[in-house]
């Protein structure tokens, strides 16, 4: 009996290590890596599809990180999307004196108008149709039918393309200051004051309509209604060439900028 016990084999079972199965964590790491890669891919595709303005806004945001450390965004629009950011109330700085119209600034405007005409071939041929006059109290920009150039189509109040381009150019220059303006329409004489024009309108109506047309061109050039003091038609009551009432130079529109009348 004792011998049988000695001959019985002893079996030792060793367990081999394997994968964790459903309870392991390796698959979670793999999934996280895949999700990170997908997120980076879609982020790159989103940026590629942006317009240039939005890309510039994002670049500005990340290039100017130091400004964010002071609790102040790097720019008014942190990322310049198409939406409008909330407007922050700010104290409006006082308007500097040189933003108003005075004799000195009138001379600057006169010089800028001359430069505009010299640098624009379409306007160079209309040089004889514009005259800037400066007195002690106002600046007068006179647009007239002169040298064979007509500002308007026939007897109508429709500005010709070159004339509209000229008025809009003047408006772009005047927009840099804050002077208010008056617009006067004038006509040549046709026998009697207020007589009928070629289109059946009286000289009062024609001169007024042309002044209104110039006001519209000024508005297109950036001079808003808040800058307009008055629009009026003078008919043939203030002839430029009195010795020749029918002279085409009497047919004109004048933009008057009184000095020291800045808009609020």
Give the other-Cβ count within 10 Å of 50's Cβ: 13
Q: What's the half-sphere exposure (Cβ side, CA atoms, 13 Å) at 78?
A: 7
Q: For residue 19, tell me if it sits in a domain.
A: no
Let me know whether 125 and 232 are in one domain: yes
**What pLDDT is attached to residue 97?**
43
> Using 50, 70 and 90 to split pLDDT, how confident is the model at 94?
very low
Q: Which domain holds residue 222?
A: 97-258
pLDDT single digits (tens) 211-241? 999 999 999 988 988 999 999 999 988 888 8
**C-alpha angle 18-23-27 in degrees, rounded to nearest 5:** 85
Q: Look at residue 188 and tell me if it is in a domain.
A: yes
Tell me, yes or no, whether 103 and 205 share the same domain: yes
Residue 21 has pLDDT above 90, yes or no: no
Same domain, residue pair 189 and 236: yes
Domain presence at residue 14:
no
Q: Which pLDDT band holds residue 133 (cuts at 50, 70, 90)?
A: very high
Let me know whether 46 and 135 are in one domain. no
Q: Is the dihedral of CA 38, 39, 44, 45 positive or negative?
A: positive
Asked whether residue 238 is domain-assigned, the answer is: yes
pLDDT at 18 exceeding the cut of 50? yes
Instruction: Decide if 170 is inside a domain.
Output: yes
Per-residue confidence band for 146, with pLDDT thresholds at 50, 70 and 90: confident
223 and 191 in a single domain? The answer is: yes
Tokens of 51: 């317009």
pLDDT digits (tens, 9 = 90+) for 46-76: 878 777 667 777 776 666 655 445 444 545 5
For 172-226, the pLDDT digits (tens) are 998 888 889 999 999 888 765 445 555 556 889 989 999 999 999 999 988 988 9
Q: Is there a domain that residue 6 lies in?
A: no
Number of domain units in the chain: 2
91 falls within a domain: no
- Of 60, 86, 112, the one marking the end of a domain is 86
Q: What CATH number is associated with residue 152?
A: 3.30.1330.60
Residue 92 falls inside a structural domain: no
Higher-pLDDT residue of 92, 214: 214
Question: Is pLDDT above 50 for 117?
Answer: yes
Say if residue 101 is in the same domain as residue 77: no
Mean pLDDT value across residues 33-49: 87
Residue 42 has pLDDT above 90, yes or no: no
Q: Is 171 in the same domain as 250?
A: yes
What is the reported pLDDT for 102? Answer: 85
Q: How confident is the model at residue 90 (pLDDT cuts 50, 70, 90)?
A: low
Average pLDDT, whole number, for the chain? Answer: 77
Quick one: 160 and 117 in the same domain?
yes
């Amino acid at each position: 009996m004792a011998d049988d016990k000695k001959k019985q084999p002893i079996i030792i079972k060793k367990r081999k290590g394997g994968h964790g199965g459903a309870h392991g964590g390796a698959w979670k790491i793999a999934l996280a890596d895949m999700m990170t890669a997908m997120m980076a891919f879609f982020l790159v595709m989103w940026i590629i599809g942006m317009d240039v303005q939005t890309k510039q806004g994002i670049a500005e945001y990340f290039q100017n990180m130091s400004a964010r450390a002071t609790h102040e965004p790097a720019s008014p629009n942190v990322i310049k999307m198409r939406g409008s950011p909330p407007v922050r109330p700010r104290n409006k700085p006082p308007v500097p004196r040189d933003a108003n119209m005075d004799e000195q600034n009138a001379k600057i405007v006169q010089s800028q108008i001359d430069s505009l005409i010299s640098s624009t071939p379409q306007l160079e041929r209309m040089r004889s149709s514009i005259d800037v006059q400066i007195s002690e109290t106002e600046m007068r920009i006179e647009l007239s039918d002169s040298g064979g150039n007509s500002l308007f189509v026939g007897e109508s109040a429709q500005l010709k393309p070159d004339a509209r381009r000229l008025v809009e150019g003047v408006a772009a220059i005047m927009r840099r200051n804050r002077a208010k303006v008056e617009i006067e329409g004038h006509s040549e004489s046709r026998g009697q004051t207020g007589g009928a024009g070629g289109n059946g309108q009286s000289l009062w109506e024609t001169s007024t309509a042309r002044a209104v047309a110039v006001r519209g061109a000024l508005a297109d050039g950036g001079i808003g209604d808040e800058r307009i003091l008055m629009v009026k038609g003078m008919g043939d009551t203030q002839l430029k060439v009195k010795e020749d009432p029918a002279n085409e130079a009497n047919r004109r529109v004048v933009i008057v900028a009184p000095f020291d009348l800045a808009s609020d």
